[in-house]
């Protein structure tokens, strides 16, 4: 199996069996996001503890395999990390999905980086980039307590 096949396998698997689906009990932050180009929508729920660490995170939503896989992988990766680490990971991911060849984050181990790199295949398809980044923009909105629904059309 080559790298491209492995990546597709992981996306399909997460798309079929998304992790962390539902509404986090006692969440203290949340945000909604919408990608009108593809029809993807997500609602991200976050519970930060008193040290600003992600105690729990989940999402509800519907959409294409890429958007669901991206939300699934994202929620898996940020659980247990501190807010500033999560922000750094989000920036690193958004940079990679648009221009950077690789991830640079020190807050991700190699296994976690491999999971995120699965989504790097969308780079060649600008419409698909929005599917992959939807849940990430929505997570930032939740962390920042912005009370507005994310619309991917507002981002490059």
Rule CB under 5 A: say whether 65 interacts with Zn ion.
Answer: no
CA nearest neighbour of 130 among 35, 65, 60, 63 = 35
Q: What distances in angstroms separate CA 148 from CA 15, 42, 113, one per listed residue?
A: 26, 13, 30
Q: Which is nearer to Zn ion, 21 or 64 (CB)?
A: 64
- Applying CB under 5 A, among 7, 24, 31, 40 the residue interacting with Zn ion is 40
Q: Is 131 in the site for Zn ion (CB under 5 A)?
A: yes
Among 13, 38, 76, 91, binds Zn ion (CB under 5 A): 38
One of 67, 70, 133, 152 touching Zn ion (CB under 5 A): 67
Whole-angstrom distance, CA of residue 25 vs CA of residue 20: 12
Instruction: Retrieve residue 105's tokens.
Output: 């984050």
Count the site residues for Zn ion by CB under 5 A.
Answer: 6
Least Å distance between CB 65 and Zn ion?
A: 8
CB 135 within 8 A of CB 37: no
Query: Using the rule CB under 5 A, is 96 a contact of Zn ion?
Result: no
Beta bridge partners of 34: 41, 151
Interface residue list for Zn ion (CB under 5 A): 38, 40, 63-64, 67, 131
């Amino acid at each position: 199996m080559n790298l491209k096949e492995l990546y597709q396998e992981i996306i399909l698997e997460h798309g079929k069996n998304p992790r962390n689906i539902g509404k986090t009990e006692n969440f203290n932050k949340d945000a909604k996001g919408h990608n009108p180009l593809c029809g993807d929508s997500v609602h991200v729920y976050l519970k930060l503890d008193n040290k600003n660490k992600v105690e729990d995170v989940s999402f509800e939503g519907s959409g294409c395999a890429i958007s669901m896989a991206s939300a699934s992988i994202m929620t898996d990766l940020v659980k247990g990390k501190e807010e500033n680490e999560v922000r750094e990971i989000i920036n690193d991911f958004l940079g990679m999905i648009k221009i950077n060849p690789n991830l640079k984050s020190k807050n991700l181990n190699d296994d976690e980086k491999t999971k995120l790199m699965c989504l790097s295949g969308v780079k060649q398809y600008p419409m698909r980039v929005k599917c992959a980044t939807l849940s990430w923009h929505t997570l930032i909105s939740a962390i920042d307590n912005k009370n507005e629904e994310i619309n991917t059309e507002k981002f490059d």
